[in-house]
Amino acid sequence: MALDSRFARLWTATVASNVGDGLVAAAFPLLAASITRSPTAIAGITVAAGLPWLILGPFAGAIVDRSDRRRAMIVFDLGRGCVVVALALLVVTGAASMLALYATVLLIGAGETIVDTSSQAILPALVEPGLLERANGRLFATQTVAQRFVGPPLGGYLFALAAAVPTFVDAGSFLVAALVVATIPGRFGAERGEAPTATTIRSETVEGLRWLWRHGPIRAFAIGAAVLNIAITAGEAILVLFAREVLDVSAVGFGLLLAATAVGYTAGAAVSPRIVGRIDRRAVVLAAVAGVAGALGLVAVGRLVPTLIALVTIGVASGLWDVIAVSYRQAAVPDRLLGRIMAAYRFIAYGAFPLGALTGGVIADIAGLRAPFAFGAVLTLALLPFLASALARVELDPAKLAPAPSS
């Protein structure tokens, strides 16, 4: 079996929009630094980027399940493009402000909750169940390369040419993504043949959250993702200080540390279909979690080369986890609930990021810069028996699954 042209178009749209995301990941902080010198104000960009998933995430799933998912991607990508063009015009006229930048980041993030949820929900209609892991592996690997390796350097270069250039290019990336998705043939509304008991966005959102919590394996994956994100983010939040004060590396060395995780994630996502073709998926999940625990413990030792190896390991493990977990959800969830479950899962998993960052900062203040990594290692080890029990005798192969009942 091979992935067909419909998937290729979704992949192309993903490349376009994620290169744009990488561009502004570099350009927006540079723009902010040209407006203000306040670290708190600049850090507010990261806060603004994370708020939409916490506030709108679960509701985004209900919106996606009420819509043609392809059309939703087109409309919201075009909307994001218009928002970014407006900011670019403000930059050109010298009227850009931190308030305008915050508003832009918030609106882009709000659109992302719809577009990303729609993209994950539409994929099972484009590929056979047996190809979900291959498709997700390619998408996740591509996203990482575009966002972490291609976009940021290009964004910095274009910003040096003129502050508005990367913003205009980002708007163009959304337009390209929308146009490519528009060429995917077919209609992709959720199957609503069964009469749903919920009739409002709020009640349908609650229905999705309840369904997720009652589904043992998906609940276990959601809890596992949240715990892993807390454990990893606790260290990542203070990694810049750890790099300078413990590892004694320069800014370039810190960049290498950040790249190490991205390299590992790209590799893990790319090779995941081959690995799960040879090794039981439950064993791969548990090995990935054990790998994260060991890697965090290795970072706590405080040596440069072991830290680089550990960060690559964390990236590989995260890539494997994401491909298996997302592919399982896409195959196991009824189509009419797919958008809500995808969004609810992300709400739980992504909501752990600020908690992990706060926890890591507090632990570092109390016990030193090595302590957050040791904390993460212990927390991740504690997750292993829970997952081993929750996933025991669970079929994780998407090709062998039928969606669970929707009620």
In one-letter notation, the amino acid at residue 310 is A
Place of tokens 């708007």: 171
Residue 175 sits in the same domain as residue 231:
no
Query: What's the domain count of the chain?
Result: 2
Residue 14 sits in the same domain as residue 131:
yes
Residue 195 has pLDDT above 50, yes or no: no
Mean pLDDT (whole number) for 189-195: 60
Specify if 165 maps to a domain. yes
The whole-angstrom distance between residue 111's C-alpha and the CA centroid of its chain comes to 14
The pLDDT of residue 402 is 63
Residue 218 sits in the same domain as residue 351:
yes
Q: What is the pLDDT of residues 219-230, one digit of tens each?
A: 999 999 999 999
Q: What is the pLDDT of residues 367-386, one digit of tens each?
A: 988 999 999 999 999 999 99
Specify if 377 maps to a domain. yes
CATH code of the domain covering residue 220: 1.20.1250.20
Is pTM beyond 0.95 here?
no
Supply 69's token pair.
């998912």
Contact 357, 234 (CB under 8 A): yes
Q: Which domain holds residue 115?
A: 5-182
Residue 170 sits in the same domain as residue 211:
no
Measure CA of the first residue to CA of the last residue in the chain; give whole Å: 33
The pLDDT of residue 43 is 65
In one-letter notation, the amino acid at residue 378 is V
Q: What is the pLDDT of residues 224-280, one digit of tens each?
A: 999 999 999 888 878 878 888 899 887 667 767 878 888 999 999 999 999 998 999
Q: What is the pLDDT of residues 4-41, one digit of tens each?
A: 899 999 999 999 999 998 888 888 888 888 898 776 67
Residue 351 has pLDDT above 70, yes or no: yes
Mean pLDDT (whole number) for 163-189: 93
Residue 15 sits in the same domain as residue 126:
yes
Share of the chain above pLDDT 70, in %: 94
Residue 97 sits in the same domain as residue 216:
no
In this structure, the number of other CB atoms found within 10 A of the CB of residue 93 comes to 9
At which of 165, 182, 199 does a domain end? 182
Say which residues have a Cβ less than 8 Å from residue 148's Cβ, sequence separation at least 6: 22, 258, 259, 262
The pLDDT of residue 392 is 94
Q: Is the pLDDT higher at 198 or at 238?
A: 238
Residue 119 sits in the same domain as residue 219:
no
Name the residue among 74, 55, 170, 184 with its Cα closest to residue 118: 74
Name the residue among 84, 64, 90 with its Cα closest to residue 17: 84
Share of the chain above pLDDT 90, in %: 50
